[in-house]
Amino acid sequence: MAPIRVAVIGLGKIARDQHLPAIANDDDFQLAAVVDPVVSGLEDVPCFDSLDALFQGGVAVDAVVLCTPPQIRYTLARKALKNNIHVFLEKPPGATLAEVAALSQRADAGDLTLFAGWHSRYAAGVEPARAWLAERRIEKVSIRWREDVRVWHPGQEWIWEAGGLGVFDPGINALSIATHILPRTFILRSATLSIPANRAAPIAADLRFIDGDDVPMSMDLDWRQTGPQSWDIVVETDQGRLMLAKGGAVLSLPGQDVGGEDREYAGMYSRFASLIRSRRSDVDTAPLRLVADAFLLGRRETTEAFYWDR
């Protein structure tokens, strides 16, 4: 079967660190082109400064991967779908829920694949955690997702703008895991968003949820963490504690630790290829919906201004 010819749109850190290697190591895909208005291209791969230039350049592509900031993703995805091209959306899949719904409708109407890629769901410990929790009574859930924004998003101004999500850019990874492994839907009851005086998006957030059985869940997000970083989910059950550490890569269960190979992006590309071959879509917006609820319901407090040079 011929490989799927794919173009990567946006050559930022995540594209270079994760997407390009995953494509290179997957026989189902062939990197046909890259698109970026600023960054230079890759050796032996056609590079264009816009999606329109790609379409006019005569390079055949079957799918695009959108690694751009979310604020511009809808326009690009809509244009690709109008040109009968499958679309892979990096997380978050859009700046708003309505955008993603509109894209999903267009993909369905055109018999095309739209894939919202939640990479953290493919971490080694996530599926075993989901299976273990399915047979336990959950009593309490705690999420602690703290990291240094200067390390993981150096100089990226878009994350501080409206639609950029701020600390929810990494926090949505935790929500993508929680909505996948927990057996019942949970809803937001309260939130406090700490927003720097010179920014439009939060640098920290404290959230409280409950599920349909009133099981409490807390979430602590902070972008000011220095030293060791924290990406942990702890679930207390009637049969002991489950802990997912290092963003889902390491699973600790009573009496055992479960590890595995890092295949987050490899797993997403395998899923994307399967969806394209079967002409199906996978567009779960549950994590984005919870973030939207935080902005709707959250109490805002102003904190000290944030500057990249400290």
Which residues does the annotation mark as catalytic?
Answer: 91
C-alpha–C-alpha distance, residues 295 and 293, integer Å: 5
Contacts of 138 (CB under 8 A, 6+ apart): 182, 183, 211, 215, 235, 236, 237
Q: What is the DSSP code string of 116-184?
A: E--GGGGSTTHHHHHHHHTTS-EEEEEEEEE-BHHHHSTT-GGGGSTTS-TTHHHHHHHHHHHHHHSSS
User: What letter would DSSP give residue 101?
Assistant: H
C-alpha–C-alpha distance, residues 130 and 117, integer Å: 18
| Tokens linked to 197 | 């005086």
Whether the link from the prior residue into 92 is cis, omega within 30° of 0, is: yes
